[in-house]
Chain A
Amino acid sequence: AQSVTQLDSQVPVFEEAPVELRCNYSSSVSVYLFWYVQYPNQGLQLLLKYLSGSTLVESINGFEAEFNKSQTSFHLRKPSVHISDTAEYFCAVSPSSNTGKLIFGQGTTLQVKP
């Protein structure tokens, strides 16, 4: 069975500092990997995804994540955060076989301080 572990429940960071949100997964089959962001009282927004190809994927707002198959990780990074990045971030996996199911980590709350 697949599972996702987000190693930090909360990450406080000052504005303009770099940040890394960690995600590890376990799976015996090939997976697709996703990061979603949830702002307060809102649904989930897709931030970026890895399906195949280049292991480094980027979002339009400066986040990037690298798929590391040997370490079964998909950590999310941003070199300089803004106050507006304050939100909860969810890592998710979907087996490449067709189950329709996303398996989510428990989420990491990113708190950006001025």
Chain B
Amino acid sequence: EAGVTQSPTHLIKTRGQQATLRCSPISGHTSVYWYQQALGLGLQFLLWYDEGEERNRGNFPPRFSGRQFPNYSSELNVNALELEDSALYLCASSRGQSDTQYFGPGTRLTVL
């Protein structure tokens, strides 16, 4: 069974630009979660999508947004990039709303 996949592996942007990160969940999983792992800040919950709807979001500004497509894949968009957005962004998926989360390898975003 293929795991959670994320693309791209690395992304380099400059301040003020927009970044789009993509995630494909494990087959059969309907929930997708996004986390930010920034140096010194640990792993922070960003967003949760289930059945195409945003179910919960963490304490992040509105310029962090996303969506979930009918095939359950997901996209995270970060607008007006700031230097502090540099981090590893991890996507996870689960079979149901309260099920165990399985993580992808992450996208490393660098903002210059």
Contact of A98 among B97, B101, B103 (CB under 8 A): B97
- For chain B, what secondary structure do more than half of its interface residues adopt (helix, strand, loop), or is it mixed? strand
Closest 7 CB pairs of A and B: A100-B48, A44-B103, A104-B43, A43-B105, A43-B103, A101-B45, A43-B106
Pairwise interchain contact A42-B105, C-beta atoms closer than 8 A: yes
A-B contacts, CB under 8 A, total = 54
Interface residues of B (CB under 8 A from A): 4, 6, 31, 33, 35, 42-43, 45, 48, 50, 55-56, 58, 90, 92, 97-98, 100-106
Smallest distance from the beta carbon of A90 to chain B beta carbons, Å? 7
A-B pairs with beta carbons under 8 Å apart, 29 shown: A32-B98, A34-B100, A42-B105, A43-B4, A43-B90, A43-B103, A43-B104, A43-B105, A43-B106, A44-B92, A46-B101, A46-B103, A49-B100, A92-B43, A94-B98, A98-B98, A99-B56, A100-B31, A100-B45, A100-B50, A100-B56, A100-B97, A101-B45, A101-B56, A102-B33, A102-B43, A102-B45, A104-B42, A106-B42
